[in-house]
Amino acid sequence: MDRPGDVDELASRARAASATVTKEPTDAEFFEGRDAYFADPEGNYREIAWASGTNPVVAAGDAPALRSDHNQ
Domains present along the chain, CATH in parentheses:
4-59 (3.10.180.10)
Looking at the predicted structure, is the pLDDT value of residue 56 above 80?
Answer: no
pTM metric for this prediction: 0.75
> CA-CA distance, 1 to 20, in Å (whole number)?
19
Percent of the chain with pLDDT over 70: 82
User: What pLDDT score does 66 carry?
Assistant: 55
Determine what percent of the chain is predicted with pLDDT higher than 90: 65
> What is the Cα gyration radius of the chain?
16
What is the C-alpha to C-alpha distance for residues 41 and 28, in angstroms, rounded to an integer? 26
More confident residue, 66 or 59: 59
* Residue 69: predicted pLDDT: 54
